[in-house]
A and B are shown apart, each in its own frame.
Chain A
Amino acid sequence: MDMVLFPLLSTIIFLPLAVALVLILLPRKNPLLIKVFTLVWTILEFGLSLPLFFQFNEKTAGMQFMENLDWFPEYGIGYVLGADGISMLLVLLTTFLTVLCVLCSWNSITDKVKEYYASFLLLETAMLGALCALDLVLFYIFWELMLVPMYLLIGVWGGPRRIYAAIKFFLFTMVGSVLMLLAIMALYFHFGRDTGLYTFNLLDLYKANIPVMKQYWLFAAFAVSFAIKVPMFPFHTWLPDAHTEAPTAGSVILAGVLLKMGTYGFLRFAIPLFPQAALAATPLISILALVGIIYGAVMCIMQTDMKRLIAYSSVSHLGYVMLGIFAFNMQGLEGGIYQMLNHGISTGGLFLVVGMIYERRHTRMIADFGGLSKVMPRLAVFFMIITLSSIALPGTNGFVGEFLILLGAFRSNISYGVLAATGVILGAVYMLWMFQRVMFGQITKEENRGLKDITKRETVILCAIVFFIFFMGLYSQAFFRKIDATAAGYLQNMQTKIASSNPAGPVPWR
């Protein structure tokens, strides 16, 4: 828990907000200036987040780059930031994807350009804040703050049914948030009464000793809130609507980062705060995750809209993540964390590709396409690679995550592993079938005959995605080295907590 002199995390978190404020002052008449300004600063922001990766001490499981200031000391609310192996990588994913989001919105957003990029920057600040906050109130503020710009992105710059989708997104998430807020309060008062220390500091609250019955309730409140965000079956129906209506960049960031907030929430809050309850809920959550994997995949097969299909594939992929996390062993946990990153890259990439096609044809229906490989050969190559990453072909990033998750699940419960592995088959079915219907065959629609292949800007975007697909697939050690200590410490903490409160029995998992 080294304190750093330079508040790196704060700078990273609030830089986008500052940029957004300056952006508002720029002249509305000059959209190019707005775009270039945003792009340059998001790139700088990404550069600024790189030291997190390179200066990260991979030996320690504790929080790094800590900042700890009093905020409302009378209520025990602090301004506490920190990053471990999990959040550090997610911060990098966020700053990386934001750059691509700005790039991919270049020509597609022509209306209210200034407000659009300002919303995006605000969203970035909120996401980064939620990832680094180690104080429950601070976290909750950032968590709620994420909703507003996302609501606007869908509701203002979205498709025809954007209002319905935006409100649905907002309400679903709010239901969860309210439950979480209640649970945070309950936790605060319990800990205060128990120890005399009234605090929202997460690292202190980790030490709380909560009776098991109470844990169940609190865990359930947190879990519902996060499960909606993931989304886990059966809370997933907001996702297809939100994705379909959101602009491309909105879908990318929604799939890439916002969904991870759910799984991250489980990792950071729900599980370590209430370990016994989490353990008791393992069968339920694992089964819901399994249902999500298989059910999501079957839903994908039925979809006629590309974005809806990819949205359902997220349900399936995030099911893997949850299954891995709740395997409670190294492979499952690390695979789950890795898959969070992978999903950001590959599903983000899929949305980018679909967005590029949509920009040209203004339709997302699979039946409107066919034979695009002929007119867009370069897009076809990128689309193929990203598709393969999504179906976890060895050599791509998807394989490493999925393999470890399946292995972890198999170790914790053989039947979970076997059932989850069927997703390997189904994933190939729906992705390749979509690819075939869109890219292969004869061109059947006249409108498709004149489509232009991807531009230089689009090539740059997809090259960045493909680079990470292969880098993470072939040299995963670069990342696992950063996760190892965190994950090992995480499991260790859980074991000691369970063991200390339950001295009679051994730890009931392998």
Chain B
Amino acid sequence: MADYIWLIPCFPALGFIINAFSGRRTSLSFVSWVACLAIFFSFLASLAVFFQFLEMPAAARVFESDLYTWIASGEFRVPIGFRIDALSVIMCLVVTGVGFLIHVYSIGYMHGDPGFKRFFIYMNLFVFMMLLLVTGNNLLLMFVGWEGVGLCSYLLIGFWYEKDSAATAGKKAFIVNRIGDFGFLLGIFLLFVSLGAEGVWTLNFGEIQKSAHLLNGDVVTLITLLFFVGAVGKSAQIPLYVWLPDAMEGPTPVSSLIHAATMVTAGVYMIARLNFLYSMAPETMIIVALIGVLTAFFAASIGFAQNDIKKVLAYSTISQLGFMFVAMGVGAYAAGIFHLMTHAFFKGLLFLGAGSVMHAMSGELDLRNMGGLRKKIPVTYWTFFIACLAISGMPGFSGFFSKDEILWKAFSSSQGHTLIWLLAAVTAGMTAFYMFRLFFTVFHGECRASAETQHHLHESPKVMTIPLTILAFLSLVGGYVGIPSLLGGNNAIEHFLAPVFGSATPASTTAGGLDWIGTAWASTTETAGHDGSLEMTLMAASVMIALFGIALAYILYVKRPELPGLFTATFSRLYRAVHNKYFVDEFYELLFVRGTLKAGALLLKVVDNGMIEGVVNGMAVVVERAGGRLRRLETGYVQEYALAVILGAVIVIGYLVVIPMF
């Protein structure tokens, strides 16, 4: 089996190549079959590995194989090699499973688009890169996938490149991600060099894990922070989240696959993959948890005041990713991956549902022009409803189990903190509120669309609604793989992931420059024991908060729809700040874009055209002038030449005669 694991990323690559090199006359159905089957085969291969794993003892569940040496220079030697263990097989299943459904959905959604084929070529390339990211057995290969998915994201955000906003959004995504990649790259260097100093030259995950104990605590803190910078870029956390809302310029299936279900979770996967390093760096963990919870809260608050259906979902994604980082930061890696999976189901579904709404509404995105769609597009309505319940954390739905696991760990873990739990729980309530605000404005009340649009309202074709239904089913039951023991389950996913995360027990003491943070933190941490009643109380509390959010949304947007207007009028200044996303984009634009352009213009003027060219052309001028002066000596009068000769002779003779006299 181990020798064949490269097949998993290979299938989408094949699909990409076949479609990219098929002639111009290939039929669209051929293109879509190739693209979807490529992902499906990859899904089957992942399933095969998964079932193989189930038959193996937990500790042995690792397949690793190297194909060939990619780069070798001195001590630096990196193969093209793959590793599949419990963590990556889950990632593979999510990527290929959800990816397959979204591919199928896209056949309907992209129907009639002139770029149909190009779309599927990019999508297959994306899945290939994403699989490379999660199956690579070393950091460099992970980085290849990491940049590769960034490329596909760039290409797909700017898919409708004739729109300036789309092309600009794509570029912004790529550049902001590169800022993160800068950190990732430095992390790789520092890790490689520090391990090398101990005599271990490797970037292989397994080997790093084996020798991680050789590293000094401060260095590990720095390394993990650098990697986290990469994660912040890719997973759109504060302060690098600004690209994700703009990324909604891409086709909706792209938003669903790349900007909700898979690529943006790569940062979470990276920390999970390197959990043994993070567990050695408690200071980093605190920062991860803090950034996570702040992003979750901040993005959710922006979600309150957006009127674009996809923008609301984008901020919701940022917020949910924040939850996953909270999990990572408190050392609850399995809970984070669990939430990653359920989020892929329900957020993928939400985006596809939004796409179906847009499909029905002739491309409308503005919530203010929707309403009352419940009857017109029933499948979309019901599936969207399930997804909203799941993301709000209603008991029984998938989001409930994963989110509650995170909340509980945020509270109870030795790395956790009551404040983090509180902020996260409040955010969960906010999530329920803005999701149901969205839900009610789209599907309930009066339809506010133009007569023309209303006339064309229709449910999406089967090829789109079937993926919706399957994802709705998964959003409903996907949580049952992680029922906590408290509710009579056995948290299967945590057990399954234990071989990857089990060994990583968070270090309680630290010896580093950032010690004081750790100490200050620990003193306020309540180390709650595993008390069932406490866990139950917290669970009930979070459900109550969510219910409150939903109820509030119901009152404001169904019962008393005049209230929100009144509210925004009263607090107009606050509303404007939130509606404009706290003007962060404008601030960045001023600081970085204008700043760079100003500096560049100044340098060009002063250094290149002023100083250097000044010297160069100045020399030319000096030579020219000197030549002009010297030319006057050449008068053409023989007498003057004769005079010069005599003068010269006198000087030479004088020199020869006079000098020796001294």
Residues on A lying within 8 angstroms of B by beta carbon are 168, 172, 234, 236-237, 295, 298-299, 301-302, 329-331, 334-335, 371, 373-374, 388, 393-395, 399-400, 403-404, 406-407, 410-411, 417-418, 421-422, 424-425, 428-429, 432-433, 436, 439-442, 474-477, 480, 484, 487-488
B179 interface residue, CB < 8 Å from A? yes
Are A237 and B608 in contact, CB atoms less than 8 angstroms apart? Answer: yes
A-B pairs with beta carbons under 8 Å apart, 8 shown:
A302-B601, A302-B604, A334-B74, A406-B189, A421-B186, A424-B182, A440-B167, A476-B70
Knowing A295-B603, A298-B600 touch, does A439 contact B161 (C-beta < 8 A)?
yes
Binds A, one of B81-89, B170-178, B370-378, B635-643: B170-178
Are A474 and B70 in contact, CB atoms less than 8 angstroms apart? Answer: yes
Per-position 1/0 for B596-638, Cβ under 8 A of A: 1101110110011001110010000000000000000000000
Are A407 and B192 in contact, CB atoms less than 8 angstroms apart? Answer: yes
Select B600's contact among A172, A299, A411, A432, beta carbons within 8 Å.
Answer: A299
- Residues of B54-109 at the interface with A, using a CB-CB cut-off of 8 Å, are 68-76
Are A395 and B74 in contact, CB atoms less than 8 angstroms apart? Answer: no
Binds A, one of B142-150, B209-217, B432-440: B142-150
**Within the complex, what minimum Cβ distance (angstroms) separates A196 from chain B?**
35
**Within the complex, what minimum Cβ distance (angstroms) separates A380 from chain B?**
9
Are A477 and B70 in contact, CB atoms less than 8 angstroms apart? Answer: yes
A484 to B72, CA, bound (A): 9
Select B161's contact among A295, A407, A441, A476, beta carbons within 8 Å.
Answer: A441
Are A299 and B189 in contact, CB atoms less than 8 angstroms apart? Answer: no
**Within the complex, what minimum Cβ distance (angstroms) separates A226 from chain B?**
18
Select B71's contact among A418, A422, A439, A476, beta carbons within 8 Å.
Answer: A476
A406 to B147, CA, bound (A): 17
B181 interface residue, CB < 8 Å from A? yes
Provide the residues of chain B in CB contact with A403, threshold 8 Å: 71, 140, 185
Are A299 and B162 in contact, CB atoms less than 8 angstroms apart? Answer: no
Provide the residues of chain B in CB contact with A441, threshold 8 Å: 161-164, 167
Select A433's contact among B140, B148, B171, B607, beta carbons within 8 Å.
Answer: B171
Select A331's contact among B73, B143, B596, B616, beta carbons within 8 Å.
Answer: B73
Provide the residues of chain A in CB contact with B426, threshold 8 Å: none
A422 to B608, CA, bound (A): 21
A91 to B372, CA, bound (A): 71
How many B residues have CB within 8 A of the partner chain? Answer: 49
Are B607 and A404 in contact, CB atoms less than 8 angstroms apart? Answer: no
Are A334 and B73 in contact, CB atoms less than 8 angstroms apart? Answer: yes
Are B603 and A298 in contact, CB atoms less than 8 angstroms apart? Answer: yes
Are B72 and A480 in contact, CB atoms less than 8 angstroms apart? Answer: yes
B483 interface residue, CB < 8 Å from A? no
Provide the residues of chain B in CB contact with A393, threshold 8 Å: 147-148, 151
**Within the complex, what minimum Cβ distance (angstroms) separates B240 from chain A?**
12
Provide the residues of chain B in CB contact with A425, threshold 8 Å: 175, 178-179, 182
B168 interface residue, CB < 8 Å from A? yes
Knowing A425-B175, A439-B161 touch, does A298 contact B599 (C-beta < 8 A)?
yes
A421 to B597, CA, bound (A): 20
Are B175 and A404 in contact, CB atoms less than 8 angstroms apart? Answer: no
Provide the residues of chain A in CB contact with B143, threshold 8 Å: 394
B158 interface residue, CB < 8 Å from A? yes
**Within the complex, what minimum Cβ distance (angstroms) separates A336 from chain B?**
11
- Residues of B568-612 at the interface with A, using a CB-CB cut-off of 8 Å, are 596-597, 599-601, 603-604, 607-608, 611-612
- Residue in chain A with minimal CB distance to B147: A394
Are B175 and A480 in contact, CB atoms less than 8 angstroms apart? Answer: no
Are A331 and B167 in contact, CB atoms less than 8 angstroms apart? Answer: no
Are B71 and A404 in contact, CB atoms less than 8 angstroms apart? Answer: yes
Select A428's contact among B72, B140, B178, B190, beta carbons within 8 Å.
Answer: B178
Are B167 and A237 in contact, CB atoms less than 8 angstroms apart? Answer: no
- Residues of B161-209 at the interface with A, using a CB-CB cut-off of 8 Å, are 161-164, 167-168, 171, 174-175, 178-179, 181-182, 185-186, 189-190, 192-193
Are B185 and A421 in contact, CB atoms less than 8 angstroms apart? Answer: yes
**Within the complex, what minimum Cβ distance (angstroms) separates B435 from chain A?**
34
Are B144 and A395 in contact, CB atoms less than 8 angstroms apart? Answer: yes
Provide the residues of chain A in CB contact with B613, threshold 8 Å: 237
Provide the residues of chain B in CB contact with A477, threshold 8 Å: 68-72
Knowing A298-B603, A440-B162 touch, does A330 contact B181 (C-beta < 8 A)?
no
Provide the residues of chain A in CB contact with B147, threshold 8 Å: 393-394, 399
A422 to B179, CA, bound (A): 8
The 5 A-B residue pairs with the shortest CB-CB distance, nearest first, are A330-B74, A440-B167, A394-B144, A440-B161, A410-B189
Provide the residues of chain B in CB contact with A422, threshold 8 Å: 182
**Within the complex, what minimum Cβ distance (angstroms) separates A164 from chain B?**
10
A302 to B606, CA, bound (A): 13
Most buried by A among B167, B601, B603: B167
Are B167 and A436 in contact, CB atoms less than 8 angstroms apart? Answer: yes
- Residue in chain A with minimal CB distance to B161: A440
- Residue in chain B with minimal CB distance to A404: B73
**Within the complex, what minimum Cβ distance (angstroms) separates B382 from chain A?**
39
Provide the residues of chain A in CB contact with B167, threshold 8 Å: 436, 440-441
**Within the complex, what minimum Cβ distance (angstroms) separates B623 from chain A?**
10
Provide the residues of chain B in CB contact with A440, threshold 8 Å: 158, 161-162, 164, 167
- Residue in chain B with minimal CB distance to A418: B186
- Residue in chain A with minimal CB distance to B593: A429
A441 to B599, CA, bound (A): 27
Knowing A299-B604, A371-B162, A441-B162 touch, does A400 contact B175 (C-beta < 8 A)?
no
**Within the complex, what minimum Cβ distance (angstroms) separates A316 from chain B?**
13
Are B164 and A331 in contact, CB atoms less than 8 angstroms apart? Answer: no
Are A237 and B71 in contact, CB atoms less than 8 angstroms apart? Answer: no
Provide the residues of chain B in CB contact with A399, threshold 8 Å: 144, 147
Provide the residues of chain A in CB contact with B72, threshold 8 Å: 477, 480, 484
Provide the residues of chain A in CB contact with B611, threshold 8 Å: 234
**Within the complex, what minimum Cβ distance (angstroms) separates A385 from chain B?**
11
Provide the residues of chain A in CB contact with B178, threshold 8 Å: 424-425, 428
Are B71 and A480 in contact, CB atoms less than 8 angstroms apart? Answer: yes
Provide the residues of chain A in CB contact with B179, threshold 8 Å: 425
- Residue in chain B with minimal CB distance to A388: B151
- For the A-B complex with A441-B167, A475-B68, A475-B70 known, give 13 more contacts whose Cβ atoms are closer than 8 Å: A234-B612, A394-B148, A400-B71, A406-B185, A407-B189, A407-B192, A417-B186, A421-B186, A424-B185, A428-B174, A428-B178, A429-B175, A476-B70
